[in-house]
């Protein structure tokens, strides 16, 4: 930690960065975040937002600016040492809000409200802020920095965007920093394993009075749901489940022919997650009966992986927070970094400010911490780009 603190403190005192510190304009970042947030970007439909970012990457003079079929947007800032592996700096563009959602924003004192503003328009705006600052002050990092605005982080996107980013850049990367708008103070250094199942139940159907007692898909599904909620997963390693969605039936006086639920399973330990999934599958086998069947599809599979809190990247992230006098919380979670960590790439996910009500219409961000949040991101980015060639994979 001493080394990392020294590295960050030296960088923060350098003439280049002191000049930047005086010009940090959080209002500009907030305006950018709102402009990005105003462009609808439901998961799988990020195209319009991607086009806007493609244009921004071009205007900033990045090299190798490109967009792939999944609406990932790429641009490279060349480093001074072409032999050095590159740093990936990424933020996801997609939101959980379907098209047609009212995206209006409002400011109330030190808060700005808007669906998707913190998660993750502010993250994307921070990516642009770092890019603009480096360009405006003609600061060249040691390693190449790949700026990436990626798709498909949320929900059923299943990290498909960052998977494609990894496949495209895997041979070039040495480390990654993933930006999440509202996670200031938290350093995600470990990705938990996540499995998502769609469990569908089918039955022949019939009349609620005439055919009472015959199988119903809704009855079968709620019985299975009861069996699932009776499972007691271990607290250590932390393991959870959630039935997040349930649909089915077609009329109040019909035996349902079809019903389904979506189940989210998570664990710090992949083997424990497999055990939990096996319990669920056994419960479905037990709930099946003549005329009543269950089918299970895996609709999400997020891999696990981690680096230690004493990894140099995590230490730099902690030292960057120390530079803004912010305490550190080490986190395990499910972010784009999961895919990178699972593939052995050192990666952290960090934040820019605080906020609340992510994935709700009344989501908001706090404006005051943003300047510090951008500063720690910039310190971490430049220090990581300067050191990552010594880390190995
Ligand atoms: Zn997010």
Task: Give 62-93 pLDDT, tens digit per residue.
Answer: 999 999 999 999 999 999 999 999 999 999 99
Same structural domain, 198 and 87? no
Locate 105 and state its tokens: 């924003």
- Residue 259 burial by CB count (10 A; 0-12/13-18/19+): exposed, middle or buried? buried
Give distance in angstroms: CA of 204 to centre of ligand 1.
Answer: 41
Give distance in angstroms: CA of 333 to centre of ligand 1.
Answer: 11
Give distance in angstroms: CA of 327 to centre of ligand 1.
Answer: 22
pLDDT at residue 16 in the model: 85
CA 158 centroid distance within chain: 10
pLDDT tier for residue 170 given thresholds of 50, 70 and 90: very high
Q: What is the average per-residue pLDDT within 4-29?
A: 90
Buried b (16+ CB within 10 A) or exposed e, 88-117: bbbbbbbbbbeeeeebebeeeeeebbbbbb
pLDDT at residue 2 in the model: 66
pLDDT tier for residue 385 given thresholds of 50, 70 and 90: very high
This prediction has a pTM of 0.88
Q: How far apart are CA 320 and CA 334, in angstroms?
A: 22
pLDDT at residue 244 in the model: 95
Single out the residue of 377, 349, 370 nearest to residue 111, CA to CA.
Answer: 370
Q: Of 286, 302, 318, which one is at a domain's C-terminal end? A: 302
Same structural domain, 214 and 253? yes
pLDDT at residue 1 in the model: 61
- For position 296, which CATH number holds? 3.30.70.360
Same structural domain, 168 and 231? no
Q: What is the average per-residue pLDDT within 354-362?
A: 94
Same structural domain, 281 and 378? no
Give distance in angstroms: CA of 309 to centre of ligand 1.
Answer: 22
Give distance in angstroms: CA of 262 to centre of ligand 1.
Answer: 20
Domain span holding position 225: 193-302
Q: How far apart are CA 209 and CA 324, in angstroms?
A: 68
Give distance in angstroms: CA of 102 to centre of ligand 1.
Answer: 19
Q: What is the average per-residue pLDDT within 357-377?
A: 96
Q: Are 193 and 266 in contact (CB under 8 A)?
A: yes
pLDDT at residue 392 in the model: 73
pLDDT at residue 57 in the model: 98
Q: How far apart are CA 371 and CA 268, in angstroms?
A: 33
Give distance in angstroms: CA of 153 to centre of ligand 1.
Answer: 7
Same structural domain, 163 and 36? yes
pLDDT tier for residue 230 given thresholds of 50, 70 and 90: very high
Give distance in angstroms: CA of 354 to centre of ligand 1.
Answer: 13
Q: Are 391 and 174 in contact (CB under 8 A)?
A: yes
Q: Are 151 and 43 in contact (CB under 8 A)?
A: yes
Secondary structure letter of residue 254 according to DSSP:
E
Give distance in angstroms: CA of 42 to centre of ligand 1.
Answer: 12
Q: Of 302, 332, 348, which one is at a domain's C-terminal end? A: 302
Give distance in angstroms: CA of 248 to centre of ligand 1.
Answer: 30
Q: Of 302, 319, 343, which one is at a domain's C-terminal end? A: 302
Longest dimension (CA), the chain: 84
Same structural domain, 172 and 250? no
Is 206 a residue whose pLDDT tops 70?
yes
Q: How far apart are CA 135 and CA 354, in angstroms?
A: 27
Same structural domain, 206 and 290? yes
Task: Give 246-286 pLDDT, tens digit per residue.
Answer: 999 999 999 999 999 999 999 989 999 999 999 999 999 99
Give distance in angstroms: CA of 75 to centre of ligand 1.
Answer: 21
Same structural domain, 18 and 148? yes
Same structural domain, 65 and 162? yes
Same structural domain, 344 and 316? yes
pLDDT at residue 339 in the model: 96
**How many independent structural domains does the chain possess?**
2
Question: Computed from CA positions of residues 5, 7, 10, 16, in that sequence, does the dihedral angle turn out positive or negative?
Answer: negative
Give distance in angstroms: CA of 297 to centre of ligand 1.
Answer: 25
Give distance in angstroms: CA of 11 to centre of ligand 1.
Answer: 29
Give distance in angstroms: CA of 351 to centre of ligand 1.
Answer: 10
pLDDT at residue 69 in the model: 98
Give distance in angstroms: CA of 121 to centre of ligand 1.
Answer: 9
pLDDT at residue 393 in the model: 66
pLDDT at residue 344 in the model: 95
Single out the residue of 87, 90, 96 nearest to residue 72, CA to CA.
Answer: 90
Give distance in angstroms: CA of 180 to centre of ligand 1.
Answer: 6
- For position 345, which CATH number holds? 3.40.630.10
Same structural domain, 7 and 74? yes
Same structural domain, 66 and 184? yes
pLDDT at residue 22 in the model: 78
Q: What is the average per-residue pLDDT within 5-27?
A: 89
Locate 378 and state its tokens: 């910039």
Least confident range of 217-221, 256-260, 358-362, 380-384: 358-362
Give distance in angstroms: CA of 184 to centre of ligand 1.
Answer: 13
pLDDT at residue 213 in the model: 95
Give the number of other CB atoms < 10 A from CB of residue 19: 13
Give distance in angstroms: CA of 123 to centre of ligand 1.
Answer: 8
């Amino acid at each position: 930690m001493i080394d990392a603190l020294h590295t960050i403190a030296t960088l923060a005192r350098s003439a280049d960065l002191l000049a930047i510190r005086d010009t940090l304009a959080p209002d500009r970042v907030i305006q950018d975040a709102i402009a990005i947030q105003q462009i609808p970007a439901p998961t799988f439909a990020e195209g319009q937002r991607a086009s806007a970012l493609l244009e921004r990457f071009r205007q900033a003079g990045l090299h190798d600016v490109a967009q792939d079929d999944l609406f990932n947007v790429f641009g490279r800032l060349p480093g001074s040492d072409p032999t050095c592996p590159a740093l990936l700096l990424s933020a996801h563009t997609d939101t959980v809000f379907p098209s047609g959602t009212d995206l209006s924003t409002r400011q109330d004192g030190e808060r700005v409200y808007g669906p998707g503003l913190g998660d993750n328009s502010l993250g994307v705006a921070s990516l642009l802020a770092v890019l603009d600052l480096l360009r405006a002050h003609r600061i060249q990092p040691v390693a190449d920095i790949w700026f990436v605005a990626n798709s498909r982080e949320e929900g059923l996107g299943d990290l498909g965007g960052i998977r494609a980013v990894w496949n495209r850049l895997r041979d070039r990367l040495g480390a990654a920093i993933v930006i999440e708008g509202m996670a200031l103070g938290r350093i995600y250094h470990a990705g938990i394993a996540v499995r998502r199942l769609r469990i569908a139940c089918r039955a022949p159907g019939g009349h609620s009075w005439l055919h009472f007692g015959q199988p119903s898909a809704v009855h079968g599904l709620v019985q299975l749901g009861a069996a699932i909620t009776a499972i007691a997963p271990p607290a250590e390693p932390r393991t959870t489940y959630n039935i997040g969605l349930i649909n089915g039936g077609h009329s109040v006086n019909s035996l349902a022919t079809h019903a389904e639920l979506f189940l989210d399973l998570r664990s710090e330990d992949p083997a424990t997650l497999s055990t939990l999934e096996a319990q669920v599958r056994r419960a479905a086998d037990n709930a099946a009966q003549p005329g009543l069947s269950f089918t299970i599809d895996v609709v999400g599979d997020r891999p696990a992986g981690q680096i230690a809190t004493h990894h140099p990247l995590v230490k730099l992230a902690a030292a960057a927070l120390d530079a803004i006098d912010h305490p550190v919380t080490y986190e395990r979670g499910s972010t784009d970094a999961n895919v990178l960590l699972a593939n052995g790439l050192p990666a952290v996910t960090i934040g820019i400010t605080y906020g609340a009500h992510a994935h709700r219409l009344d989501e908001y961000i706090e404006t005051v911490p943003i300047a510090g949040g951008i500063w720690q991101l910039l310190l971490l980015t430049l220090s990581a780009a300067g050191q990552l060639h010594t880390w190995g994979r």
